[in-house]
Amino acid sequence: MNFPTPDHERLAAGLLGLSLGELRARNQVGSLRLPEAYAKAAHQLEKGVPLQYVLGRAPFRYLELKIGPGAFIPRPETEVVAGAAINALRAFPAVDRLAVDLGTGAGPIAAALASEVPGAKVIAVERAWAAAGQARENLEPLGVTVVGVDAVQVATAAGPLSDLAGRVAVVAANPPYLLDDAELGPSVAEYEPPAALFGGGPDGLETPLVFLAAAARLLKPGGVVVLEHDPSQGEALRRAATEHGLFDDAHTGHDLTGRDRYLRAERTDRGQP
């Protein structure tokens, strides 16, 4: 059996609950039988619906998450960002492992923190109701609390999570950060939520800067922010983190292709913003 595209092959494997290797082995010996649902699902795929939305799930590090329209599809780049947040949280004593995932979407970073860091207490923040619903499905079984608010509110003194101000060990986030003129493929432009993609302004930094301000309010002295960003934004975010004396040791981490991908900075002990 010949599949027209690699995604058709992945679709068949996902519907059958097989790895690609298992699927190919069955196909080679002629024992592969596609399920009835394949034809309808393949039609969705051919219309441009992302594979993850068709299957209703997406892999992320060691997990498989429920995913659907209204939530950003997690990418491999964010797995690297999650890894940096995991390493940062593991460096704290078990009793201090409190983390907040801002703009959690369907919950990939929060799920990775909760499942990979012993003793972690994780709170996930998401403003979009559709994404927050998916986050609850993915995260509540892991003991993660999902709070349906906006990072703008978290950044204010009297806003939600104000009781956590100055107490959090790690704030991790994959905020909307794309530049206004970013070129998107049809499956992204037509199906993924724009509010989860574009950061605002010509440099895409309006929302990331809000997230950085929220992190500054939440983090304890010595706490760490890990913030995903566009490769063009590294220098600007390092400067924003340090210019008001709120963060030290700000540096840029790289993704698997060597591109600038995330800010990592430590909260100073010079008071709340």
Query: Mean pLDDT in the chain?
Result: 93
Can you list the alpha helix ranges (DSSP code H) found in 30-155? Answer: 37-46, 51-55, 76-90, 108-116, 129-139, 151-154
Over the stretch 112-122, which tens digit does the pLDDT of each residue have? 999 999 999 99
Specify the CATH number for 71-267; select among 3.40.50.720, 3.40.50.150, 2.40.110.10, 3.30.390.30. Answer: 3.40.50.150
29 has pLDDT over 70: yes
Over the stretch 48-86, which tens digit does the pLDDT of each residue have? 999 999 999 999 999 999 999 999 999 999 999 999 999
Task: Say whether pTM exceeds 0.85.
Answer: yes
Over the stretch 196-206, which tens digit does the pLDDT of each residue have? 899 998 899 99
- Please list the residue range(s) of the chain that carry CATH number 3.40.50.150: 71-267
Q: Which of 99, 200, 215, 97 is nearest to 154 (CA)?
A: 215
141 has pLDDT over 70: yes
Model pLDDT, residue 21: 95
> Contact 67/73 with Cβ under 8 angstroms?
yes
